[in-house]
Amino acid sequence: MKVVVVYKWARDPEDAAVRSDGSVDWRGARMTPGEDDHVAVTLGLALAAGSAGNAVGVTIGDGDATWGLARGVEQVVAVPDAPSLADNGATADLLAAVIRWVGQVDVAVIGDAEAYAGVPAALAGALGWPAMLGVSTATAVGGRVVATRRMGDREQVVSLALPAVLAVAAASAEKQVPGMKEVLAARKRPISAVPMADLGIQPRDRLQSRSTDVPEVGSAHIFDGSAASATGQLLATLREDGVL
């Protein structure tokens, strides 16, 4: 089974600066690993190993492609001149083009990022593959993928025909961060850099940002100390604000 693991495909919104005129300045924001990327790598590697296959990392933009290599991916395809796109559909089209360039992919694993929630489903649509979102575990069984996800207080198990897209959700932060030895070794390994021109696609950002406003934030009160003390502070503050 050939598994593609997509990581570092979006900019961190926290790194963007909102100017006084409402414009957003992304100059200080680089492609960064999403909160689910480490889970995508772990699940992708497990799928490949369980099916005697291989895992290929895919990343776009100006992020450090060795991030995936340091976590066990043996081969990485990067598109360093890929633009940052506000349109989730355009981002999905770009990622689909990279996956087609890799060729003969059975499963594409991508982080179910909260800030860009539309990309995984749009990626499946661009590829014409079935998809499952919010995946927690997945295994290869009889030429298919059996994936599990939480649905409220229940667990859903689905068998998907291949090829397929799996969007994984992180249950916790990364527990085993690579050490300096793994990071330095990853920097010495080759990366296949593919220019946009070779993908045969010029993604179009169909969204236009008309304005951005910083919401008004009211004052916040922090109560510390014992439970009894904090309760007393809370009641006093509510009385001062006229709530009680």
Q: What is the pLDDT of residues 223-237, one digit of tens each?
A: 878 888 888 888 888
Q: Is the pLDDT confidence value at 189 over 90?
A: no
**Cα dist from 109 to 21, 41, 98, 180, 242, whole Å:** 39, 8, 13, 26, 52
Q: Is the pLDDT confidence value at 215 over 70?
A: no
Q: What's the longest Cα–Cα distance across the chain?
A: 67
Question: SS3 for 98?
Answer: helix
Secondary structure element (H or E) that encloses residue 237, with its range: helix 227-240
Q: Among 66-70, 127-131, 228-232, which range has the highest average pLDDT?
A: 127-131
- pTM for the whole thing? 0.79
pLDDT in the model for residue 217: 66
- AA letter at 61: G
pLDDT in the model for residue 160: 94
**Cα dist from 204 to 48, 83, 90, 150, 163, whole Å:** 33, 10, 6, 35, 26
Which carries the bigger pLDDT value, residue 114 or residue 50?
A: 50
Percentage of the chain modeled with pLDDT above 90: 42
pLDDT in the model for residue 214: 62
Q: What's the length of the chain?
A: 244
Q: Which two tokens stand for residue 63?
A: 């992020």
pLDDT in the model for residue 169: 86
Q: Is the pLDDT confidence value at 26 over 80?
A: no
Q: Among 43-52, 85-94, 121-130, 180-189, which range has the highest average pLDDT?
A: 121-130
Q: How far apart are the first and last CA of the chain?
A: 64
Q: Is the pLDDT confidence value at 211 over 80?
A: no
| b/e per residue 176-193 (b: at least 16 CB within 10 A) | eebeeebbeebeeeebee
Q: Is the pLDDT confidence value at 201 over 70?
A: yes
Q: What is the pLDDT of the chain when averaged over all its residues?
A: 86
pLDDT in the model for residue 78: 93
Question: SS3 for 225?
Answer: coil
